[in-house]
Each structure stands twice: as structure tokens, then as C-alpha cells.
Amino acid sequence: MTSLENHETSVTVTSAAIGLIGTLQHAARIAAERGHGYVGTEHILAALFDAPLTPLEVFWPRIDGEPIQRGVINDFDSSAPQQPLTYSEVQELVKAVIPEPGSAPGLPTRPVTVTYDVSGPKADEFKAMLDRFG
């Protein structure tokens, strides 16, 4: 019988928007409901789409509506049929949801930092992988 050694991880984010904190909490609930002892990108994606009214839904183009424009809510009417989008159009939409600098009053203004800690048998390998993203 082989036993697997687990990795332990933790992360701290400074200057997180309230929406991110809520999304992470919702993702943690989704992970727990599925019996997972971790939160992954798959849980975050599920949390982003499992909300009463998400930014994507507000900005999602409607049939016969305006094209995707950065920072412009596209004639939002929840009863209007949504325009089908390709994957690259969804990527464009996600980028369009990001507000222009200085256009989101009330949000944190300190520089954003993400720090983490990883321990376990492959910790050095995981840290090297994460450092490539940073």
C-alpha cells in the first residue's frame, strides 16, 4: 500500500475587492460540497457563474444589441436573449469587464500583492512553477 504525501498551501492577497473575497468564499463552499479539501480554478469558475447576477451576465451582449465594448453595459435586459459567443469572444468580454484605472471609486488603492507558501514533497517544483507566473 502506498501513502500519498499531501501538500499544504496558503495564499494572502492584499487590496482584494469585496467581490473577489465573496467569490473565493463561494468557491470554498462549492469545493466543500463536492468533498474537495482544496479550492482550485475549477471551483472559482463555478463560483463566477453561480451567482444571482454576475458581471459577465450584465456585460454579455444581447441578440440585436451593441457589440462588446470595454466598460459599457450592453443594453442589459435579463429577459433579452443572449448572443452566442465563441471562446475568443468570451475572452474579449472578460477583459471588457475590467474597469479603466481610477474608474472604480471605493475600491482599495494600495498595490496588489499575492504571497503564498507551499510545503510538501514537491514544494520546490510547485514554487518554481508559480514563480514563472509572477
Q: Which of 89, 59, 57 is nearest to 73 (CA)?
A: 59
pLDDT tens-place string over residues 26-72: 999 999 999 999 999 999 999 988 877 777 777 777 777 766 665 55
Res 13: pLDDT: 93
Q: How many CB atoms lie within 10 A of CB 7?
A: 13
Res 47: pLDDT: 93
> In this predicted model, which residue has the larger pLDDT, 69 or 18?
18
**Residues making up the chain, counted from first to last:** 134
Reading phi first (left if > 0) and then psi (alpha if -120 to 50, else beta), residue 93 is in alpha
The distance of Cα 77 from the centroid of its chain, to the nearest Å, equals 24
Q: Which of 115, 131, 124, 130 is nearest to 7 (CA)?
A: 124
Res 49: pLDDT: 87
Confidence of residue 4 (pLDDT cuts 50, 70, 90): low
- In sequence order, the β-bridge partners of residue 113 are 14
Distance of alpha carbon 77 from alpha carbon 57, whole angstroms: 10
pLDDT tens-place string over residues 65-116: 766 665 555 555 667 788 888 999 999 888 888 877 777 777 777 889 999 9
